[in-house]
Amino acid sequence: MIDVPVLVVGGGPAGMSLSLLLDRFGIPSLLAERRASTTTHPKARGCHARTMEQFRVWGIEDRVRRAGLPQEPTWPAGARA
């Protein structure tokens, strides 16, 4: 049996982010994910600005940007640049 102060259930964006943050603060945790490996299919269409701010604080923004698709500006229906 493994004894840890924090059990993170699910390796999606929130679970992975929480695990990273806990590690940065030196808090032991265990991430439990039902799948044995990552998928080759995208699971998100993008990141919110606040999420990218956190990635910058954590020092991983550049790696996240390189791993993703190129940014394309989007506009609400009927709006013009």
Side chain identity at residue 74, one-letter code = T
pLDDT digits (tens, 9 = 90+) for 3-49: 999 999 999 888 988 998 999 899 999 999 999 888 888 777 778 88
Q: What are phi and psi of 17, to 5 degrees?
A: -65, -45
pLDDT at 62: 94
* Contact of 49 with 39, CB cutoff 8 Å: no
Q: Read off the pLDDT band of 58 (50, 70, 90).
A: confident
Beta carbons within 8 Å of 52's beta carbon, 6+ residues apart: 61, 64
